[in-house]
Amino acid sequence: MSRVLLVWSTYVHPDPEVNDSVEDHWTVHESLSEAQEEYWRLMYLGSTKSVSVCGVIQSSDYSAMPEFYLG
């Protein structure tokens, strides 16, 4: 089954002017709609630097999404 990944970075300190260090995070979702729901939640948090919804192109853990299949 294809999975959708959500990857995001958060600021280590709540005020990016004080410290611009970030931590990276990721989760796996069963559907695009599930990942998008979490995407919008993260977009509105002040601690989020960036967030991306990603389809699997090639992986040792997950099936590639058919639209990205490399063969």
pLDDT for 31: 87
pTM here is 0.79
Distance between first and last Cα of the chain: 16
pLDDT for 69: 63
Tally of structural domains, the chain:
1
Range(s) of the domain holding residue 25: 4-68
Q: Taking 60 as the threshold, does the pLDDT of residue 1 lie above it? A: no
pLDDT for 38: 96
Chain segment 18-64, per-residue pLDDT in tens: 777 889 999 999 888 999 999 999 999 888 999 999 988 888 888 87
